[in-house]
Amino acid sequence: MGEFQKLAKLSDLKEGEIFVAETRYHRVGLTRLGDEICAFADLCTHDGEDISTGELEGDVIVCPRHSAKFNIRTGKVLCMPAVEDLPVYKTRIVGDEVEVELED
C-alpha cells in the first residue's frame, strides 16, 4: 500500500484538461471528471513517452505518438499498439488539496 502525497490544489484541476505533477519518482497526470479526480501515470505503456500531451476525450486519453487509448478511470488499454494497462492511482481531497496514493 502506498502513501498519499499532496500533488495539486483543487483549483489547479479543470474539466477536460490535464495537470501534471512531478514527484521524486513519478510524473502524474490529474484531471477532473465531474466530481471525480482521476490520477494516472504520465507515460504511455507502449513506448514510455509522456501521455499528458495527448487528447482527452471524456474519460479516455489518446497517446499523441501512436494513438493508443486508455481509460483514465480504470487504466484499461482500449486499443493497440499498447497492450499493457496505464497505472492509475487513488485520490482524495483534503481541504483544498488533492492527494494521490503513490508507491516509491
The structural domains of the chain, ordered by start, are 3-102 (2.102.10.10)
CA–CA dist 15, 34 (Å, integer): 7
Q: SS3 for 61?
A: strand
Nearest partner of 74 among 54, 62, 90, judged by Cα = 90
Neighbouring CB atoms inside 10 A of 75's CB total: 17
| pLDDT top residue among 78 and 103 | 78
Neighbouring CB atoms inside 10 A of 48's CB total: 8
pTM of the model: 0.93
Residues 30, 23 contacting (CB under 8 angstroms): no
Query: pLDDT per residue over 37-65, tens digit each?
Result: 999 999 999 988 899 999 999 999 999 98
Per-residue confidence (pLDDT) for residue 48, from 0 to 100: 81
Whether 104 has a pLDDT exceeding 70, the answer reads no
Q: How many CA atoms lie within 13 A of 36 on its CB side?
A: 10
